[in-house]
Amino acid sequence: MFKQILNRLPEKPHKSKDHRDGGNPKSSSHTSTSSKTNNDVPITRSSTTKPTSTVQNHTNNKLPQSHYLKPIRNATISNTYEALPSLKDVPNSEKQNLFIRKLTLCSVVFDFTDPTKNLKEKEVKRQTLIELVDYVSSANGKCQETVMKEIVKMVSVNIFRRLTPQPRDNKVLETFDGEEEEPSMDPAWPHLHLVYEFILRFVASPETDPKIAKRYIDQAFVLKWLDLFDSEDPREREYLKFVLHRMYGKFMVHRPFIRKAINNIFFRFVFETEKHNGIAELLEILGSIINGFALPLKEEHKLFLVRALIPLHKPKCIPMYHQQISYCITQFVEKDCKLADTVIRGLLKYWPITNCSKEVLFLSELEEVLEATQPPEFQRCMVPLFRQIARCLRSSHFQVAERALFLWNNDHTNSLIKQNRKVILPIIFPALERNTKTHWNQAVQSLTLNVRKIFSDVDPQLFEECSRKFKEGESKKEEIKSKREATWKRLEDMAAQRSGGGHDPIVMSQKVIASHVSSSC
């Protein structure tokens, strides 16, 4: 019985006799060659198989994913790369298969650094991409999951690449201005812009089911997409912006992740690199997102304002994205007026000290924030705010002083100042008086006189009181100055008398001098 059971068990496989005895070497060589061929499909299939059968294998999904991620070598492209029939010339039953074959055809990446290479193949791919864009724009019926998978693969192969920054020396990097410098244009743009147009039409299409598409346009895809915002080509960043905005609207499940990923980009930019080409475009997307926030604002959104948006005022290159950051900040204040105090104090925290052009930008943004500020929030921050404005009024840079005086041209801001003039006027009055007498710029002097007239007309008594205190303060300063000068004169006379009497020159310690000066004060 045991023998019967043992006989039913499968025998352990043995090595072949030929191989064991060193027999036919061709068989083992053939086996190893065939296995190598299966593991290296992108190279061997492309050089030995006709394009139709190759695309058919792709259609059946029999090839590994690496096939879509490795471009065909330039040496073999001319033998395998041919145009496929038009989608208009085939029946509806075959259109899906032909569409996938065309996607596979467009997954070949060409070298555009040499404009003389593969001209015919590049033109074939360009025409195919144009056809795909037209097809996805006019397609009727839901997009199948297999098609979505191939679409994402084709897009990924073409656009997810390592960005090569334009070489610049250290001195150029320190003074780099994105508005003045010529941007670096990608030579592959004739194909790239069609791929971007294709994915834009695909994401925006009502036939694209987000529940299925989110399996392929996943978080990893979004992260790679956001990495491309550092591209130096402004045309690419515009497409990236439009598509990401569509993704945010289409895939609700990705919205928190997209906001968090953008947040991390801002952190890295502010606190580490201070170099990124796509901050303005990312802020444009956020401006639209913030505009759609529901009220009351979530605590998550308020933290985003405090931790990510306000610190963006720190980098030196803020002129490149100031218009966008100002819009985002103002949107928050308009959504929740209680945030005005937080925003204004944040601006004061990062207020520039020696950068006058940046200071002008801050004053412009401050005016927009004050436009949406209500009296209770204004009163919380008006003392530190107008101390800073007083310093701006005294600035020898005429644009800074002029921009600070323009705040009184805004009706809402002027109304807030008038309501709280008893606190504000004593803070800024010395700056106004000195401007009228000593500022070198005629326009600043005339604007200062207008502001003085506003206060004198609204509250003459307060104005006179501030004027009296200012004169008293100035007279005290003059008295202290004259006493100090008299003390120094007396010390000089004492030193001259002793040296004239035959004694050695007197070297007086700093403590003695300080005691004389302080006693005179």
Give residue 336's identity as a one-letter amino acid code: D
Supply the pLDDT for residue 190. Answer: 86
Residue-wise pLDDT for 502-517, tens only, equals 555 555 555 555 565 5
pLDDT top residue among 340 and 23: 340
Q: What is the pLDDT of residue 228?
A: 96
Give the pLDDT score at 84: 86
At 501 the pLDDT is: 54
pLDDT at position 275 is 93
Per-residue confidence band for 497, with pLDDT thresholds at 50, 70 and 90 = confident
Query: Tell me, what's the pLDDT at 173?
Result: 42
pLDDT of residue 473: 87
Three-state SS at 73? coil
Mean pLDDT of the chain: 81
pLDDT for the residue 164 = 75
Report the alpha-carbon distance of residue 228 to residue 251 in Å, rounded.
20
Tell which wins on pLDDT, 14 or 269: 269
Question: Is a pLDDT exceeding 60 seen at residue 17?
Answer: no
Residue 39 reports pLDDT greater than 80: no
Instruction: Report the Cα 62 to chain-centroid distance in Å.
Output: 41
Q: Quick one: pLDDT at residue 508?
A: 54
- Burial (0-12, 13-18, 19+ Cβ within 10 Å), 481: exposed
What's the CA gap between 70 and 81, in Å, rounded? 15
Q: In this structure, is the dihedral angle defined by the CA atoms of residues 164, 169, 173 and 179, taken in order, positive or negative?
A: negative
**Which of 74-88, 111-125, 359-373 is modeled with the greatest confidence?**
359-373
Whether the pLDDT of residue 51 is over 50: the answer is no
Q: What is the pLDDT of residue 119?
A: 85
Region 298-327: what's the mean pLDDT? 95
Q: pLDDT grade, residue 21 (50/70/90)?
A: very low
- 58 confidence band (pLDDT: 50, 70, 90): very low
Residue 277 has pLDDT above 90, yes or no: yes
Q: Which of 85-94, 318-327, 336-345 has the lowest mean pLDDT?
A: 85-94
Residue 161, both tokens: 């690449």
- The answer to whether 483 and 508 are in contact (CB under 8 A) is no
Residue 470 CB neighbour total at 10 angstroms: 16
pLDDT (average), residues 319-330: 96
Q: State the pLDDT at residue 185.
A: 79
Query: Cα torsion for 430, 431, 436, 438, to the nearest 10°?
Result: 100
Higher pLDDT among residues 178 and 299, named by residue = 299
Would you say 413 and 372 are in contact if contact means Cβ atoms under 8 Å apart?
no
Distance from C-alpha of 264 to C-alpha of 396, rounded to nearest angstrom: 39
Confidence of residue 41 (pLDDT cuts 50, 70, 90): very low
CA dihedral 137, 140, 142, 148 (to 10 degrees): -40
Q: What is the DSSP string of 195-220?
A: HHHHHHHHHH-TTS-HHHHTTTS-HH
Backbone angles phi, psi at 233, to 5 degrees: -85, 110
Q: Is residue 8 pLDDT above 60, yes or no?
A: no
Describe the crossing of helices 92-105 and 119-138 by its angle, rounded to 10 degrees: 140
Which segment of 57-61, 269-273, 431-435 scores lowest on mean pLDDT?
57-61
Alpha carbon distance, N-terminus to C-terminus of the chain: 122
Structure-block tokens of residue 113:
């650094």
Residue 505, pLDDT score: 53
φ, ψ dihedrals at 112, nearest 5°: -100, 0
Task: Give 206-264 pLDDT, tens digit per residue.
Answer: 889 999 999 999 999 999 999 999 999 999 999 999 999 999 999 999 999 999 999 99
pLDDT of residue 82: 77
Stretch 396-416: mean pLDDT, rounded? 95
**pLDDT of 458 over the 70 cut:** yes
The pLDDT value recorded for residue 162 is 87
Residue range 268-295: mean pLDDT, rounded? 94
Is the pLDDT higher at 82 or at 247?
247
